[in-house]
């Protein structure tokens, strides 16, 4: 099982959500291209990777709440400001 904590509360994450969040946090303050995340998290689903990534980012945002920012850089990727 994969979990993270926000404001002292444990939040369960799916494996894909965890991998995405981990990658963004390891590269905090850096623009991460969508293709980089897709290749790392969805290596065998290239046709659906963009849709899957957007869906998982949406789920992460809902789970993490308003105090945790995953910034979208249009047509490029995502960033977690630090």
The answer on pLDDT for 77 being more than 80 is yes
Q: Look up residue 37 and give its two tokens.
A: 């995340």
CA 64 to chain centre: 11
- Dist CA 32 CA 35 (whole Å): 8
CB atoms within 10 A of CB 77: 19
Look at phi and psi of residue 80 and say left if phi exceeds 0, alpha if psi is from -120 to 50, else beta: beta
* pTM of the complete model: 0.90
**Does the pLDDT at position 16 exceed 80?**
yes
Position 68 scores a pLDDT of: 86
- pLDDT, the chain, mean: 92
Lowest mean pLDDT among 13-22, 23-32, 36-45: 36-45
Average pLDDT over residues 77-82: 93
Instruction: Report the relative pairing of strands 77-79 and 71-73 from DSSP bridges.
Output: antiparallel
């Amino acid at each position: 099982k994969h979990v993270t904590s926000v404001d002292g509360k444990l939040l369960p994450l799916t494996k894909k959500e965890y991998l995405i969040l981990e990658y963004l946090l390891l590269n905090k303050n850096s623009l991460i291209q969508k293709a980089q995340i897709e290749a790392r998290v969805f290596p065998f689903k290239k046709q659906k990777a963009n849709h899957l990534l957007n869906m998982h980012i949406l789920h992460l945002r809902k789970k993490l709440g308003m105090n945790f920012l995953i910034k979208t850089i249009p047509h490029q990727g995502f960033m977690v400001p630090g």
